[in-house]
Amino acid sequence: MAKKPSKPNSNTIAKNKTARFEFAIHDEYEAGLSLQGWEVKAIRDGKVNMTESYVFLRNGEAFISGLTITPLNVACTHVVADPTRTRKLLLNRREIDKLAGAVNRNGETIVALSMYWKASFVKLKIGTARGKKLHDKRADTKARDWQRDKARIMKSSNR
């Protein structure tokens, strides 16, 4: 079984690309994850899907649900692996209070943006967000297409 080739010096594990398209991100926070051993092994192998994940607050703690970490076949035989279990996020009290204020007062939601390595720890970038309207999404798509076309024009004019 060959390992997937990874980019050198890349610490990004997974990105939630749809989050930036569907939501307007306001504030970003870095959170640690409470993981089990088999989950870390699966993350090292790149078996993470965070497109359906969301963050919620309960009893003064932050949790992420919908984050799928597919277990390896050979990782652990004595533990029953639940790929979509709810995992606890490790945040400071002040950060949790800010998130709770944004959710309760401003009507925002908390979205998982990316997962990455920081030293030997798995970190999750989360952000408070508000949903975009259809015309906002169209404007973003139009701006992205223009940036791509502009880069092509500049590249061809430099030759």
CATH code for the domain in which residue 28 is found: 2.40.280.10
Residue 118 included in any domain: yes
Domain count, the chain: 1
Q: What tokens does 6 get? A: 């990874």
Question: What residues have CB less than 8 Å from 17, skipping those under 6 apart?
Answer: 51
Which residues sit opposite 12 in a β-bridge?
Answer: 116
Residue 115 included in any domain: yes
Residue 40 included in any domain: yes
- Could you say which DSSP state residue 53 is in? -
Residue 151 included in any domain: no
- Per cent of the chain over pLDDT 90 is 30
CA separation for the pair 128, 85 (Å, rounded): 22
Residue 156 included in any domain: no
Residue 6 included in any domain: no
Residue 155 included in any domain: no
Task: Give this prediction's pTM.
Answer: 0.75
Map residue 42 onto helix, strand or coil: helix
Is residue 38 a contact partner of residue 48, using CB atoms and an 8 Å limit?
no
State pLDDT tens for residues 29-88: 999 999 888 888 888 888 899 888 888 999 999 999 988 888 887 756 677 778 888 999
Residue 149 included in any domain: no
Higher pLDDT, 60 or 133: 60
User: Which of the four pLDDT bands, split at 50, 70 and 90, describes residue 1?
Assistant: very low
Angstrom CA distances, 98 to 56, 65, 102, stand at 13, 20, 6
The domain in which residue 95 lies consists of 12-132
